[in-house]
Amino acid sequence: MPVIVVANPKGGVGKTTLSSNIAGYLASRGHAVMLGDADRQQSARTWLSLRPAGLPRITAWEVSHDDVVRPPKGTTHVVLDTPAGLHGKRFDEVMKVADKVIVPLQPSIFDIHATHEFVRQLLAHKRSDKVSMGIVGMRTREGTISSEQLRGFLDGVQIPLLGFVRDTQNYVHLAAHGLSLWDVSSNRFERDLEQWQPITQWIDA
């Protein structure tokens, strides 16, 4: 049972956007998916509560904020949305169960610097050789100074860039209705689905 962890100790980088859309993608493929929310804000749980009936089912993973995180039984795939400030014991608990870790990163110099130390911790962790890791550039506009800063950072790290998620209100509108990209059929989302192709290929690998 693969456990996909979406993590970055920096707040507001798009962890829940990634987590909910990964869960939506896996559910659309017919998997029995659980979405866990270890963040006290419970944004992923809110998204699940808004999800319409009749869509591919995604169930909630009850994650305690105090106990060791353990994957539930009776499911095929787990996605875990983690809190800002992830470090220490909680970081170790998450790494114990992770099969894949995706690090969302926005192209601001502040986010880049804040994420650099977290990437170092990931690579230094005792389970790093057993966990697949990747970075996704969030809210990125190609050709901007900030996107070039992001590429410069990625050139210096050992974690691969999986792809980019553009800066668009599409994700805001989807989240407001408990939807993922794979729950809608409008041409409006074609560009976003194209951006996700290398990310989903990595998830499936």
Give the start-to-end residue ranges of the domains of the chain. Answer: 3-204
Reported as a pLDDT band with limits 50, 70 and 90, residue 17 is very high
**11-20, 66-75, 132-141, 144-153: segment of lowest average pLDDT:** 66-75
- At the top level of CATH, the class of 3-204 is alpha beta
Q: What is the pLDDT of residues 106-119, one digit of tens each?
A: 888 788 888 888 88
Tens-place pLDDT, residues 20-69: 999 999 999 999 999 988 777 778 889 999 999 999 999 988 766 555 46
Polymer length of the chain: 205
Backbone phi and psi for residue 135, each to the nearest 5 degrees, phi listed first: -115, 140
The pLDDT value recorded for residue 106 is: 87
Predicted model pTM: 0.91
* Residue 172 CB-half CA count within 13 A: 5
Residue 167 CA to residue 152 CA, distance in Å, equals 19
